[in-house]
Chain A
């Protein structure tokens, strides 16, 4: 059992990271009943924006660029952490505008449109940032090894897991304790009634999509130092995200978090015994869970079943 402990710890940190990725995805699915297959691409886009912001490549040879690069890496990193998601949100809002003709039709069309968008965003990334693997620089304070109970861990992993934990609770507080969260949840529950009460539904959808995209971009900036940055990272990421949503049950916030931890644990523990098959364990988990409970752990009936 004690041998297993580091793997369990590893799995739980991985699970928290998965939860961060799934957060924006579940928000969009819950409110808009759109499976956003471009979620992973927005994740990648956020990370690439951060890469350009930290590297200062957008500012050319101007005096501003020189001043920007003279700033400490910590400052630039924090700036990227704030601005990257905003830019991803803008991309997400553009996508939402494209999605409008598909509302009221079968959910397939939203799925197809976002699939096309994923392809387009990936190609745009190839054009803008090249096809090779790139590294996102992180401040020294959160980088390097750390010794915990006799095992060496990467400090950054703990930072990322802690950051995810904070982000999860922040989003939960936002959804549960603010009037905006109430409107969003009401929109997910009964959009007609929300409209009847005088809220602008299309503005709500635009903002929710932007918020979900910002969370995707944020997850990208946090995850990429661990997973590496390449144009098709979006596809690698969207798959675990949607597995988690389906396991947790579509539209359930805590279902997604619990599912993410389960997937993380499954991957971590499988990784300990059969490293090559670690990724496979999440598909097996999905097939088991959905085989037993057709709507996932905490799913409710939704329009997506029609």
Chain B
């Protein structure tokens, strides 16, 4: 079993190569999505979940803190965006900032409470807090609209100095989400490979030793939680724009579990890019398998179980090992050749 730290950190040039590749794929998506039989809205959904998943993996994969209640922050972002549009002002940036801020504050409160805990107790408390938020969103009819949620959330136009873009068409919204996704990738990549990211990895490997090395571990755990909650809030704000509504289901345990499944299947435990693969696999499975059979979730669940049993390092880990084996045999062959000569 390999882990994130076993894959050597690449030189920035290589990483930027991958980021440029992602940006190109996103930029051309409106052309090739219909060609492979998919549709524009799916692109929006996938890009939003990628933001969510990448932010989540800073906590889950890098810091090794297993949150099973992260759907809550997605939902808080969605509600904050909707409430901002309906009660404060019709503004894209204002709404997104409100979503990020609200999720960040909620994350800070929860994080302050749980950051002294470790292992399974940490995971269980994240579930409990996630359920508290979910439950609150259902019961505060006056603010959240109860089980129906907030309906008719507008897609405010994107206004930059001098120009204004209408985001109501799906293609326009997709480009906004895609740009924010690339920005998120850049920020998270920097964070994950900064000294801060190294400390998070040290905490995952051995929390006690990291503390003995002089790091105030709980501050790092808190920071990782807040940052991942803020990315979830950003994703949530975009999600409420895409769905034009925000409802309690976004926060449910089901969603929180889905993000864990996606990140793990993709290989978030071993690679920065794991969450991206996992999100693509999930949505393609949903749309392609879902086209054949009503019970696609059964097959996805079975695949997930098989993955946990046999290949917990996920898709990214399988690619990595396959690549290493390929290169290993090549190295081996050249070494043999050198010996002969």
Contacts and interface: CB of A to CB of B under 8 A. Distances in A.
A binds B: yes
Interface of A: 35, 98, 101-102, 105, 107-109, 111-113, 115-117, 119-120, 123-124, 126-127, 235, 239, 242-243, 246, 250, 276-277, 279-280, 283-284, 286-287, 290-291, 294-295, 304-306
B113 A101 contact: no
B94 to A, nearest CB: 31
A113 B308 CA distance: 6
A239 B126 CA distance: 12
Given A112-B264, A243-B128, A280-B136, A305 B118 contact: yes
Contacts of A124: 298
B135 A108 contact: no
Contact of B253 (A35, A107, A239, A283): A239
Given A117-B305, A280-B139, A235 B254 contact: yes
B337 interface: no
A35 B254 CA distance: 17
A120 B136 contact: no
Contacts of B160: none
A291 B113 CA distance: 7
B308 A279 contact: no
Interface in B108-167: 113, 116-121, 123-125, 127-129, 131-132, 135-136, 139
Contact of B304 (A116, A246, A284, A304): A116
Nearest to B120: A304
Nearest to A35: B120
A250 B119 CA distance: 13
B297 interface: yes
Interface string B194-221: 0000000000000000000000000000
A211 B116 CA distance: 35
Given A98-B305, A101-B310, A120-B302, A112 B119 contact: no
A289 to B, nearest CB: 11
Nearest to A239: B131
Nearest to B133: A283
A26 to B, nearest CB: 14
A23 B312 CA distance: 30
Contacts of B66: 108, 111
A116 B128 contact: no
B254 A286 contact: no
A120 B327 CA distance: 38
Given A120-B301, A304-B121, A239 B127 contact: yes
A80 B118 CA distance: 42
Contacts of B119: 107, 304-306
Q: Interface on chain A toward B: helix, strand, loop, or mixed SS?
A: helix
Contact of A116 (B120, B131, B261): B261
Contacts of B338: none
A67 to B, nearest CB: 34
A112 B68 CA distance: 10
B1 interface: yes
A101 B257 CA distance: 21
20 contacts: A35-B124, A101-B309, A107-B119, A109-B308, A111-B123, A112-B308, A119-B300, A119-B304, A120-B298, A120-B305, A123-B295, A280-B136, A283-B128, A283-B129, A283-B131, A283-B135, A284-B132, A287-B132, A291-B113, A304-B119
Residue of A112, A279, A290 most packed against chain B (CB within 10 A): A112
A280 B131 CA distance: 8
B1 A105 contact: yes
Interface of B: 1, 66, 68, 113, 116-121, 123-125, 127-129, 131-132, 135-136, 139, 253-254, 257, 260-261, 264, 295, 297-298, 300-302, 304-305, 308-310, 312
Contacts of B120: 35, 107, 111, 250, 304-305
B116 A287 contact: no
Nearest to A121: B301
Contacts of A235: 253-254
Which 9 A/B pairs are nearest by Cβ-Cβ distance?
A123-B298, A119-B301, A304-B120, A120-B301, A305-B119, A116-B305, A116-B304, A101-B309, A113-B308
A242 B124 contact: yes
Contacts of B302: 116, 120
A92 B260 CA distance: 23
A117 B308 CA distance: 11
Nearest to B66: A108
Residue of A277, A284, A287 most packed against chain B (CB within 10 A): A287
A276 B139 contact: yes
B121 A294 contact: yes
A115 B258 CA distance: 10
A73 to B, nearest CB: 33
Contacts of B253: 235, 239
Contacts of B68: 111
A277 B254 CA distance: 21
A305 B264 CA distance: 21
A220 to B, nearest CB: 19
A35 B113 CA distance: 22
Contacts of B1: 105
Contact of B308 (A102, A243, A294): A102
Contacts of B125: 286-287, 290
A118 to B, nearest CB: 8
B128 A286 contact: yes
B253 to A, nearest CB: 6
Given A123-B295, A304-B119, A305-B121, A116 B139 contact: no
Contacts of B139: 276-277, 280
